Structure 1
Amino acid sequence: MPNNNQREELHRAIWSIADDLRGAVDGWDFKNYVLGTMFYRYISEDLTYYINQGEWDAGNTDFDYAKMSDDEAEEAREGLVNEKGYFILPSELFSNVCSRAEKDENLNETLEKVFRHIEESASGTESEADFSGLFDDFDVNSNKLGNTVAQRNKRLAKLLIGIRDMKLGSISDHDIDAFGDAYEYLMSMYASNAGKSGGEFFTPSQVSVLLTKLGTVGKTSINKVYEIKTRYLIQFNVA
């Protein structure tokens, strides 16, 4: 789980991005853009760390997958898909796309292509269901991002840079639980006024825990409660 400092940093960064995009993207769609970009960063860093660690352990301490050519990386595609469930070319890693974002006049097309390639990399494998349609809610051509391609790309670049600047440390220091925390924070920001019955699908964790405790008063043999609405599994000492 993210520690308190990471959680505070995460919330500040999300709020800052929301401030940049205020008036352009409504809360419900904004949530999808932030979570989609965060996940793109996560799987890029996770794959890079996995490959780099293997090379470093083998004595190649100067190796950096992000600096490899796409042609060289292609040779390892099949093995990596079998091991990790997906594949990302070095040029399409979050860090590399982000570094070019502000100067990429076709950033929307770049992201659309990258997301398609990530999903296609899992096609025909056991992980296909996990990646199919993964970025469907991330509409890079939405007029909500701007009326022109230039306006949309400017906001997409700000989004990428904002996610890049989240100080979460090395991929070895944080895990995917940060996304659960980000999701809860975003939902708490927008569920009440999402315009799509957002509150219907969101129960703040404090409420879930309170209801669970009330429902287990006097019980001594229960230590887990499944909250169906949010699919939370809550564990605590009832003694």
Structure 2
Amino acid sequence: WDEEPFELIVSNPPYSVKWVGDGDATLINDPRFAPAGVLAPKSKADMAFIMHSLSWLAANGTAAIVCFPGIMYRGGAEQKIRKYLVDNNYVDAVIQLSGGLFFGTSIATCIMVLKKGKSDNKVMFIDASKECIKVTNNNKLTPENIDRIVDVFAKREEVAHFSHLADYAEIAENDFNLSVSTYVEPEDTREKIDIKKLNAEIAEIVAREQVLRSEIDKIIAEIEG
């Protein structure tokens, strides 16, 4: 206990495990959970782990917590806890990762970065779901992938289809949804169609069809004659 509070916390808690929650009336007064005014659901302790880490964080500290993406957009108690975190300017960033990075699960996880001493009131959203390479049946983050994510995170840089810096008003407008896909528009990789060129090609096909129809009509007329 001599080292607390901690300046750096890195955590990968179990996803959506059950806990006692409001089954223990004393937990709402626990200094770890009381500030949010609500407890994480009994069936999903994810937010309890986040509040636990936050309670041990120093005033100048940073926590990076690997999370199940569902806690970023689900309603109810989890939404109220997200609102508490955003209202108090604790959420520094949310980084979406690709699936298949962790042994034993293929789900796509994300990282929530918490800070108590932020210099602004904005949240950085990074879509790093494509920052990986395929290794057998799993995905892997290369040093290059990590460098790109960390560089954009450190600079709080906006990059099209990769990162977005959202202010409080934008997050509040989205009902405190912290899902990266809400704020970072994916790149449209579909083939772009030149509608004018397509219309010209269709018109040409129709014209050729009319000529062929006319020639066929002539042949039929000769046969019948």
Structure number with larger C-alpha Rg: 2
| Greater fraction of residues in strand | 2
TM-score, scaled to structure 1: 0.24
| Greater fraction of residues in helix | 1
TM-score, scaled to structure 2: 0.25
Larger RCO (CA under 8 A, 6+ residues apart): 1
